[in-house]
């Protein structure tokens, strides 16, 4: 019974961990991009990353950030925001940074700038981010290599 209880608890923790909007992530975003109160990206609140159907559903920008957070320590860093800047997550022809600078929503193709903004800020990802990425990748590779070894039939 104990084993099943722990498995159920783990599953519940996983569910709540992935289904909740993260106000602290939003704070990191607002602070890094110096979004002021009342601006569209501030007023949109949780829908900056989540869809209108509920918090379980992330919009394309939210999914892009989630992929980066998963490889880290469940913390959204400014390096992750910078990494996502060059992508056009919602596929509307404007990069996430162009949208953020213009005050439009990077996760909603219906919201985009009228033209490509000039003088975009240049943000640099810190080197420690690459180290973290490399460590996370090697742990994952090691994990899956271990799994494959365990699954393969015994040759004894």
Applying CB under 5 A, the residues found at the interface with Ca ion are 88, 90, 92, 94
Q: Which is nearer to Ca ion, 77 or 89 (CB)?
A: 89
Q: What is the rounded distance in angstroms from the CA atom of residue 139 to the CA atom of residue 40?
A: 39
Q: Which is nearer to Ca ion, 79 or 92 (CB)?
A: 92
Q: Which is nearer to Ca ion, 79 or 88 (CB)?
A: 88
CB of 32 to Ca ion, least distance (A): 18
CB of 123 to Ca ion, least distance (A): 17
How many helices (H) and strands (E) would you count in the chain? Answer: 7, 0
CB of 154 to Ca ion, least distance (A): 51
DSSP 10-70: HHHHHHHHHHS--HHHHHHHHHHTTPPTTSHHHHTGGGGTB-TT-TTSBPHHHHHHHHHHH
């Amino acid at each position: 019974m104990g084993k099943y209880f722990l498995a159920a608890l783990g599953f519940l923790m996983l569910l709540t961990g992935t289904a909740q909007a993260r106000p602290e992530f939003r704070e990191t975003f607002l602070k890094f991009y110096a979004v002021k109160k009342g601006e569209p990206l501030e007023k949109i609140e949780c829908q900056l990353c989540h869809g209108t159907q509920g918090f379980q559903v992330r919009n394309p920008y939210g999914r892009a950030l989630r992929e980066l957070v998963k490889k880290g320590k469940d913390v959204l860093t400014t390096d992750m925001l910078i990494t996502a800047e060059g992508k056009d997550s919602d596929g509307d022809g404007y990069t996430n940074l162009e949208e953020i600078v213009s005050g439009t929503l990077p996760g909603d193709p219906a919201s985009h700038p009228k033209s490509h903004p000039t003088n975009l800020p240049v943000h640099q990802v810190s080197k420690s981010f690459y180290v973290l990425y490399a460590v996370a990748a090697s742990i994952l590779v090691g994990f899956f290599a271990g799994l494959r070894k365990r699954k393969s039939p015994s040759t004894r």
